């Protein structure tokens, strides 16, 4: 029987655990390990008949992780803690020769960089250890990379432009809350925007924009028209390397006016800072303090109504003719809560993590080294999405 080690016990982890239990024939025994035992206990209590062991681990400590992975003889490690822990967990996987998977690129707590560099640098070590490391297997990154790979494989000879379109039209009733870890979420949306395009000499360049400077209205199927703002998002870094003939890639995310107004006020008073400040003789990080005040994303589940719609629009050439397609997935927040006690953002992240882990454990996806999602064959992943709660659609658009 296989043993699956899941690290982190937040909103995304809850979905991964529920989904692994639904696919218990592949995942076998589940060991759920996190910084504090409380949230592990809650998840375990939701699945009383499942084979789940819970324990604590400090995932910032590689030695502790090595001991845990060796003790439970994990066949795979699913990292759904925070991006700060990616490198320590990857190093523990190298030391124990255990396959690794995560959903977000490594971040240093003191500096938001949004890049894969330090994880890609471990490619040789993964190769030497003879194991596979899969990066960014949530929805975006994750399913969006798969949509691009699927478009490349079946619909185009060359893709010239990609727009990734992420809409969360869920309403949780709070004036301001984030749908996943507040610190990670607020760093992402308060940073400068960036997109990639080839210049006249055919050289790819990153073009920087002010935060929320570029907006377009996109009519999301089953949701309706929404203001969508250009952001930098990590999957673009790997997609520019792997999608043939690409000339431009951009990422857009929807935000409501209330969210943007709160963000602006918080930013203006310095609450989004990630540098420590002195407060009554103590050092505090404003963003961390704000995260403490905001609702726990895992608590949004029972309150959130509405849908998510995340997809890609790709334009390019097939058999000498121009072509444009839209691949997207719509998910209802209340449906997610009814199934796994989580809101749609955790659900749409956790299900792709489970699917990739399943394909790795079954040997359908294999390799030695560190990979991004679009380097894998998209077909088995796209098939699993259809049956694991994330059915997607494809539309041919007018060029």
Q: Which residues bind ligand NDP (CB under 6 A)?
A: 8-13, 34-36, 39, 57-60, 80-83, 85, 103-104, 138-142, 180-181, 184, 297-298, 345, 349
Element (H, E) at 356: helix 344-361
Residue 108 DSSP label: B
- Relative orientation angle of helices 11-22 and 344-361, to the nearest 10 degrees: 50
Q: Which is nearer to ligand NDP, 186 or 246 (CB)?
A: 186
In the complex, what is the shortest distance from the CB of residue 56 to ligand NDP, in angstroms, rounded to a whole number? 8
Query: By Cβ distance, which residue is nearest to ligand NDP?
Result: 10
Cβ 86 to ligand NDP shortest distance, Å: 8
In the complex with ligand NDP, the residue whose CB is nearer, 82 or 313, is: 82
- For ligand NDP, the closer of residues 117 and 244 by Cβ is 117
CB of 221 to ligand NDP, least distance (A): 20
Task: Calculate ∠ Cα 240-112-218, nearest 5°.
Answer: 55
Burial of 22 (0-12, 13-18, 19+ CB in 10 A): middle
Dmax over CA atoms of the chain, in Å, equals 68
Give me the least distance between CB of 323 and ligand NDP, in Å please: 27
- C-beta closer to ligand NDP: residue 83 or 193: 83
Minimum CB separation from ligand NDP for residue 271, in Å? 18
Quickly tell me which residue has 């990630």 as its tokens: 274
Kind and range of the H or E run holding 88: helix 86-96
Q: Name the residue nearer to ligand NDP (CB basis): 150 or 156.
A: 150
Tokens 């997610």 correspond to what residue? 336
Token readout for 255 is 């935000």
Q: Are 137 and 12 in contact (CB under 8 A)?
A: no
Q: Cα dist. 110→34, 39, 187, 190, 275 in Å?
A: 22, 26, 11, 15, 7
Reference 60, options 31, 83, 94, 32; nearest CA is 83
For the bound state, the minimum distance from the C-beta of residue 321 to ligand NDP, rounded and expressed in Å, comes to 33
Helix, strand, coil percentages (3-state) for the chain, rounded to 5, are 40, 30, 30
Nearer Cβ to ligand NDP (160/304): 304
Nearer to ligand NDP, 297 or 389 (CB): 297
Beta-carbon contacts of residue 49 (< 8 Å; ≥ 6 apart): none
Query: What is the rounded CA–CA span in Å between residue 392 and residue 386?
Result: 7
CB of 345 to ligand NDP, least distance (A): 6
- Residue 189 has phi, psi (to 5 degrees) of -85, -15
* Shortest Cβ 356–ligand NDP spacing (Å): 11
Q: How far apart are CA 387 and CA 7, in angstroms?
A: 25
Q: Which is nearer to ligand NDP, 316 or 378 (CB)?
A: 378
CB-facing half-sphere around the CA of 93: CA atoms within 13 A: 35
Cβ-based nearer residue to ligand NDP, 57 or 315:
57
Q: Could you tell me the smallest distance in angstroms from the CB atom of residue 398 to ligand NDP?
A: 30
């Amino acid at each position: 029987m296989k043993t699956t080690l899941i690290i982190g016990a937040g909103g995304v982890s809850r979905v991964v655990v529920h989904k692994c239990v639904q696919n218990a024939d592949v995942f076998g025994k589940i060991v759920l390990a996190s910084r504090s035992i409380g949230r592990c206990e809650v998840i375990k209590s939701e699945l009383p008949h499942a084979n789940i062991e819970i324990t604590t681990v400090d995932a910032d400590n590689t030695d502790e992780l090595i001991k845990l992975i060796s003790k439970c003889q994990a066949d795979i490690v699913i990292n759904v803690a925070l991006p700060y822990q990616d490198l320590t967990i990857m190093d523990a996987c190298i030391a124990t020769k255990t396959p690794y998977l995560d959903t977000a690129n490594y971040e240093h707590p003191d500096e938001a960089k949004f890049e894969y560099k330090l994880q890609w640098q471990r490619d040789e070590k993964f190769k030497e250890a003879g194991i596979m490391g899969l990066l960014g297997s949530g929805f975006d990154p994750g399913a969006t990379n798969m949509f691009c790979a699927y478009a490349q494989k079946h619909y185009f000879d060359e893709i010239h432009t990609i727009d990734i379109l992420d809409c969360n039209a869920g309403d949780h009733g709070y004036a301001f809350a984030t749908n996943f870890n507040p610190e990670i979420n607020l760093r992402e949306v308060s940073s400068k925007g960036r997109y990639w395009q080839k210049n006249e000499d055919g050289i790819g360049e990153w073009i920087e924009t002010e935060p929320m400077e570029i907006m377009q209205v996109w009519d999301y199927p089953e949701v309706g028209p929404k203001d969508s703002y250009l952001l930098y998002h990590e999957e673009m870094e790997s997609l520019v390397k792997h999608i043939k003939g690409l000339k431009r890639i951009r990422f857009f995310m929807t935000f409501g006016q209330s969210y943007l107004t709160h963000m602006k006020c918080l930013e203006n008073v310095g609450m989004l800072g990630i540098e420590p400040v002195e407060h009554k003789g103590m050092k505090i990080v404003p963003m961390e303090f704000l995260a403490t005040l905001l609702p726990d994303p895992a608590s949004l589940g029972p309150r959130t109504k509405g849908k998510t719609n995340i997809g890609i629009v790709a334009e390019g050439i097939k058999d000498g003719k121009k072509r444009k397609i839209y691949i997207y997935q719509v998910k209802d927040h209340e449906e997610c809560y009814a199934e796994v006690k989580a809101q749609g953002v955790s659900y749409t992240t956790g299900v792709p993590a489970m699917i990739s882990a399943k394909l790795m454990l079954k040997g359908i996806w294999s390799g030695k080294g560190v990979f991004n999602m679009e380097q894998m064959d998209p077909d088995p992943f796209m098939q699993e999405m259809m049956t694991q709660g994330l059915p997607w659609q494809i539309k041919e658009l007018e060029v």
